[in-house]
Every structure is written in structure tokens, then in C-alpha cells.
Structure 1
């Protein structure tokens, strides 16, 4: 720095500090002194360096973050318990508030809503096929099932048969659903994930128990001829059965039946010993999470769903835990299944969709035949 510029800067600072022209003039005359010039130089350098010393950063509260969770209808009771646990944990660890927007409905309907623009950060759906549809729409990156534990499956259930008090139609197993005069309530496989699981459980009750595919087609066709109404999702199916008092037997998630029992419903139910493992996946919707800047929190929430704390909350409302420790803790709540098969044994979701649920596929054919 040139001396002349430094002197002018020092004089300006001195004028501001003295506030008096007379005092300033006397001080300025002293600049002729080499000793005072040295003083001014040191004074100026000191002031300059003081500007360079970093000041302590002010403690700032991180901005609140907002997540949108889109899930299938019957998970709401679990998330009413899980979300407060996560938000409290995140607040303790990150000093940041997390607010949740939540949407619940039939898995197929929820999937279409996300594809059509519902900006979910996280989806928890009834079946992997629905997550794959969102992936195909470019919103979720391929390999989502490898990003989290357990292949992305956060909750499990099986199909239950709920009867009226006293079980007047003497329903004991799958085969009884095809009897004449039995009215079966189940949701619509075109809009509901649980309904697809119900359909596949009916089909597998034959093919996974020694029967051939023609026998399975005949049996499933007869059951759907006994279905008077097709609600859009599991919750509506429950309302039709419990509140509107329609039907002799309700096909539903075991977890939904156990939750209804907790809420005072007394209808008896049967868990068939040939049954399908209902596997419900969760995933971060990558495109939306990146757009919203919520990826870190969204990923942490998905991981939290596999923790013992969250798995216990799933178990309390009737879901079969995927965490082995928690599953052991709650083993008395869930009867063992003699022959439990999976979607992979029925060709996987891509094959099942094409064969059974696509437009014009087997379900549509059976509906036409039942008219």
C-alpha cells in the first residue's frame, strides 16, 4: 500500500474519531514528525488487520423443512405414531423442524396422482409394481430397492377373511368363498393394491396348493361372481362391510382387521394357512426430493422406517414387522402361516400385471363373464 494513500486514509479516520476541526488541525501538523508518521502507520495497519479477523458466526436456526408423504390407505394409523417419533428425533439431532404433508388412498390411485404431478418426496405403496410405475415415469431412479434395507419392503401383511358374528355362512377357508349365496366384499384391483393382493391370494390358493391354472381360473371367476360391489380401496371396503353392513365375508389386510379389532370391532376372522406375503415398499421420489431440497431428510425418514422404533409402531397397528428383533417381540400377535408364497412365485409383478390386471387381461375377462 502506498504511503500517501495510507496517510489520507489515516487522516480521514482521525477526523471522524476527533470530531473537532481544531483538534484535527493540530493532529494533522504532527504528521510532519517522522515519529508520528510511524505511529499513524502502525495505527492504520492495526485497524486494517482488525477487519481481517473473522468474527464469531451467529448461531442460526436451520429453516424448517417440509416433506410430502404419499401412501396407501391403511398405513395412516401407523404414520400417526411414526411421524411424531421421527420429527422429535430429527429436532434433537439437527435442531430443525420437519413438517409433513400426508396423502392416503388406494395404491393405484396414489401412484397415478404422483405421476400426474402430486409432488411426493416419499412414497409407501402397497406393491412394488406401483413404485416401478413411478420409476418408469422418470421420478424415481432405477435401483431404488437397493438404496434401503430389506429390498425396500418396510411393512408386511397377509390376507384375512372377516365374517359376521357367529360366522353364519360357516366360512373356514378360501374354497368357501365360491359357494352359492356367499357375498364377498373386496376392493377393485384396478385401483387398489390390497385388491390385487386379494386376487393373487385367491389364485395362489389353488396353484400353490396343487391345483392347475384352469382350476384357478374357474375358482377365482366364481368368487368374483359373488362380489356385489368393488370399492376403490381397502378403507372403503372396510366401510362397506362394517358401516354399511354389506356382505358375508370381507377380504382385507390382516393389519386392517387387527386395527379394527383394537377399535372395538368384534367380527371373527380367519387367516388362511395358504396365503400370500403382502410386501409394501417405500422409496424416495428422487426428482421431487432434489427439486425441493429435501433429499437428506427424506432419506433419513425412509431409513427410520426400518428402525426398531418405527417397526414397533407398525406392529402395534397390525403390520407384520420386517425387523427380525421386533418380529420376535410381537410373534404372539401374528399366527404362523403354513404355506406362505410370494409374488415372485407367481411370475413377479411385471408378469402378474400383464396377465391379470392390464386392460383386457384376466380380471377384466372375469368381470365381463360375471355380468
Structure 2
């Protein structure tokens, strides 16, 4: 769904009028409400961290995120709106757009004027940075390198787990039918692929062993949809496959909503699925919404917000909340990150670019 920011234009009084007002002992502010000051005047000093608040005007921001975060944000946003109203005396409207992370990324680059983006992987946020919409260094603008939620890969099976699929090695057994999205087109599927690779390479094995294992697993893949949503539909609605590689949080949320009749296992060696949040600098400066957008992103790291993420299956990044809910999640004995695999730029080139390892596995080379 595409959201367009409605914008109003305001005309400053002429210099002649201003002079008359000053002569009468009145300032321009006597006639005009106060708005974000980052680009009010070409001669004014631009302060990227400050926004003057109009006490009697609403402010609107647009959040663009990936689909499975919706349930959490529907609880978090009202809390932030109430907090801002209480502390600043201003009403905030948060427009929301949800969809596949890759599709949302393209939409923002193509003109969806997001003030805040919360996407499934840093690679997508980096693409928006490379398009000139987000300033370099955004990772340092918030706690935890701007990673706002975590999850891991779960092995979702048919009810009762008839094939006894417990861990990564079971995926390579003959006769096991696997559903996962295509990592060439799906961000979620890239996490799945890296989890499979790291199950060997980050658990005592070498890269040759890792490649052989992943090759065998993909021989068992019976359907390779373009994105995570189609992958879930193939498993849930069409009954394809014995096991679906899925985000742990999505499995938990689907179970809460009564949408599935499945079981799941979380392998003890796993990858940390780290999802970042960032302010879209070019848009907030255009809209005059920097202060509220930055306050919103910082609110996402508070205990209040992190508890809402935890309720729908995300592993909290806030240490206090993580301790509160640790019993809800299976223990991970060996957790690694995409950084341990060289970072997203390296992983993309090594595994997912045209002619890289995934293409070679698919073609049998």
C-alpha cells in the first residue's frame, strides 16, 4: 500500500511587512505558528537534531516496515503517541506501510516518503542509504547499532513432526521435503541460507563441508518461491513440504493467532536475525519531522516497546526485557551474526550475486 504525505505550504510575510511588524514591536512569530526549523531560511543555521514544536498542530510521520512487525507496531505506536502528547503537548499521527522488506525498500527508493524505515535486514537499509536518502553512519544513531529486533531461524514441521526433524542435519536426509524462499529474491531466505551455511562453518566445520551440506539441503527443496509470504502459503495453504524454514517470531505469531496447526524446532546453533531501524534523513528534513522521527526510533528501544516486540515472538534487544522473557524462548548455545560471516556486503557477493555460490549450487557446479 502506498501512502502519500499530505503537505501544507506556508508563505512568510514580505520583508516590508516584517519591517513594519518590527517597528511596531512585534515579531513574525506573533503571526506564524512554529514549525521545524531545519530549512526555514537559507541563512539560518541548520540544526539536524532540533525541531521546534507547535503546541496546537498535529505532526505526521510515515513508518515503512516489513510485514510481520505489524502486530507489534499496532501496540507500540499508541504508547509513543501518548508519551509525545504528554511530554510535548502535540498530537502525532503515524502513517504505516507494511510489506516484504525488499519491496518496501524499492518503494522508498522510488518515492514512498518514509520518515522511518524498519526493515528485515541491514542490506535493505544500506540500499536506501546508497540511494542518497539516509546519511552514512545511521547505525550509530540508536542503541545496539540500531538493531531493534532479533529472531532466529526455526524449522516448522507438520503437526506432531512426523518426519522427526529436530536440527539442521535432519534437513539433508533423503526423503525430507523442504520449503524455503529463493535467496536471490527474498531477504528472509538469505537469512535461511546463512543459517544453513553457519550450521557447519560456525560449528567446527570448514567451508567445503558447509557447501556440501547446503548443496544437499537444497536438493531436498521442493518449492522455491520468490518471497517469504509465498513460501508460507506453499507450506500452510497448499500443503507442500515436510518442513518450512521460517523466522521464529513468525511461527510464534501465527500460532498465537490460531492460523497454523504445526510444530517447530529451533536449532541450538543459529544465526541472529538482526533487523535495524533508521530515520530517512532526506525525508524528515523535507517534512520538518526530524525531532519526532528520532524520538520514535529511540522509543523502540525502551522496555515498554521491547515488551511488545517480545509478545509477538521477537527476541528483545533490551537487556532488562530479555531477562524477563528468557524462559519463553529456546536456548541458543551457539549464536552467530552476519558480521561473523563477513558482513552483508561480503555475504551478498560471496553467496547471492549472479554467479556466486548459490547459483553454483543450483546449477550443480
Pairwise TM-score range, normalised by the shorter structure? 0.7 to 0.9
Matched, 1:273 2:268: yes
* Residue 343 of structure 2 corresponds to residue 348 of structure 1: yes
Aligned length: 319
- Partner of 1:228, secondary structure, is strand
In our comparison, the structure showing a higher alpha carbon Rg is: 1
1:217 aligns with 2:191: no
For 1:224-235, list aligned pairs within 5 A.
224-235=218-229
1:160-239 maps to which residues of 2 (within 5 A)? 160-239=154-233
Equivalents in 2 of 1:113, 1:274: separation in Å?
35
Look up the match of 1:148: 142
Partner of 1:5 in structure 2? Answer: none
Change (3 A) 1:205 1:355: same
8 Å contact from structure 2 (residues 60, 95) kept in 1: yes
Q: 1:366/1:109 Cα in 2 relative to 1: closer, same or farther (>3 Å)?
A: farther
Structure 2: which 5+ runs fail to align? 1-23, 34-53
- 2:319 corresponds, among 324, 328, 335, to 324
Report the 3-state secondary structure (helix = DSSP H, G, I; strand = E; otherwise coil) of the residue aligned with 2:278. Answer: strand
Q: How far apart, CA to CA, are the structure 2 residues paired with 1:274 and 1:117?
A: 40
Shift in CA distance, 188/105, structure 1 to aligned 2, threshold 3 Å: farther
Distance in 2 of aligned mates of 1:321 and 1:333: 11
Asked if 1:139 corresponds to 2:130, the answer is no
Contact 1:145 1:283 in 2 (8 A): yes
- Deviation digits for residues 292-343 of structure 1, max 9, x if unmatched? 1111111011001001110000000000000010111111111211111111
Of the candidates 66, 88, 91, which is equivalent to residue 72 of structure 1? 66
1:20-99 map, 5 Å: 62-99=56-93
Residues 55 and 88 of structure 2 are in contact (CA less than 8 Å); yes or no, is this contact kept in structure 1?
no
User: Which residue is equivalent to 1:31?
Assistant: none
2:221 alignment partner, SS class: coil
* Contact preservation (8 Å) 1:108, 1:190: no
Q: Which residue of 2 aligns with 1:35?
A: none
Q: Are the structure 2 counterparts of residues 101 and 281 from structure 1 closer, same or farther at C-alpha, using a change threshold of 3 Å?
A: same
- Aligned residue for 1:103, secondary structure, equals strand
1:125, 1:220 → 2: CA distance?
26
Q: TM-score, normalised by structure 1?
A: 0.81
| Counterpart-to-counterpart distance in 1, 2:185 and 2:125 | 14
- Contact 1:346 1:352 survives alignment (8 Å): yes
Q: Aligned residue for 2:14? A: none
Q: Cα distance 1:363–1:104, how it changes in 2: closer, same or farther (>3 A)? A: farther
Aligned to 1:6: none
Q: Is the alpha carbon distance of 1:273 and 1:52 closer, same or farther for their aligned partners in structure 2, counting shifts above 3 Å?
A: closer
Given that 1:126 and 1:194 are in contact with CA atoms closer than 8 Å, whether structure 2 keeps it comes out as: yes
**How many Å separate the matches in 2 of 1:296 and 1:191?**
35
Does residue 115 (structure 1) correspond to residue 109 (structure 2)? The answer is: yes
Kindly indicate whether the alpha-carbon contact (under 8 Å) linking 1:73 and 1:235 is maintained by their aligned counterparts in 2: no
Matched, 1:335 2:325: no
- What SS class does the counterpart of residue 83 from structure 1 fall into? helix
The SS at the match of 2:270 is strand
Normalising by structure 2, we get a TM-score of: 0.82
Q: For residue 188 of structure 1, report the CA deviation from its aligned partner.
A: 2.3
Deviation larger for 85-94 or 306-315: 85-94
Tell whether the 8 Å contact from 1:161 to 1:252 is kept in structure 2 after alignment: yes
> CA separation in 2, counterparts of 1:89 and 1:57?
28
Pair 356,164 (structure 1): closer, same or farther in 2 beyond 3 Å: same
Provide Cα deviations, 1:104-159, integer angstroms capped at 9, x if missing partner.
Answer: 22222222222222221111111112211211111111110111111000000111
Report the more deviating stretch, 238-247 or 115-124. Answer: 238-247
Distance between the aligned counterparts of 1:236 and 1:82, measured in 2?
28
